[in-house]
Amino acid sequence: MQTLKSAAGLILIAFASGCSTTDPLIADKSLLLSPSVQISYEAIAGAALAGAAIWYVADPLAPTWSVARKKLAEDRYRIDLRQKRFAVGGDGEAQQVFHRAAETLAEENGFSGYAIVTYTEGIESGPLLGQRVSRGVVLLGGAVETTASR
């Protein structure tokens, strides 16, 4: 991260210096695709920069749902789900993700099951786009007996 800040600082200094003897960052050339079609390096760099910005905002490799768990009591948890803002699909899977999170909680805490006390789904309005959310409370039950065999 520090290297990225240093590189950004050096680029900013180069642009801010206003020196006319510096060479342009992108060569004034074109990529010849056919006799009648050519694309400037400037256009290629602009498309790459736009693609990187879209990739950063949309982040297609990030999980569709974020899961937050809060312990309310020894056997009671609140599960909050939030879908990422730019998601392609996954609109109907909130209940599946909720049940998976509840099962994981039960297993991690030594319980054999759970009961859903409350569950809601909705859309929270944001500055630009709405975001799907889901919230529920689960009650863990049926403690698993652990016996050591010798």
CA atoms within 13 A on the CB side of 24: 7
Who has greater pLDDT, 138 or 87?
138
Res. 71: pLDDT tops 90: yes
The DSSP symbol for 145 reads P
List CB contacts of 134: < 8 A, sequence separation 6 or more: 80, 81, 94, 95, 97, 98, 119, 120, 121, 122
| Nearest-angstrom CA–CA distance, 41 and 5 | 26
Q: Which residue has the tokens 């805490």?
A: 109
What does the pLDDT average to over 97-105? Answer: 94
**CATH 3.30.1660-classified regions of the chain:** 65-143
Instruction: Report the candidate in 35, 34, 14 with the shortest Cα–Cα distance to residue 25.
Output: 14
Q: What is the pLDDT of residues 23-60, one digit of tens each?
A: 767 767 777 778 888 888 888 888 888 888 877 777 77
Q: Is the pTM of this model over 0.75?
A: no
Specify the fold of 65-143: Dodecin subunit-like (3.30.1660)
Q: Which residue has the tokens 């859309």?
A: 123
Res. 8: pLDDT tops 70: no
Which of 30-39, 83-92, 126-135 ranks highest by mean pLDDT?
Answer: 126-135
Per-residue pLDDT band at 101 (split at 50, 70, 90): very high
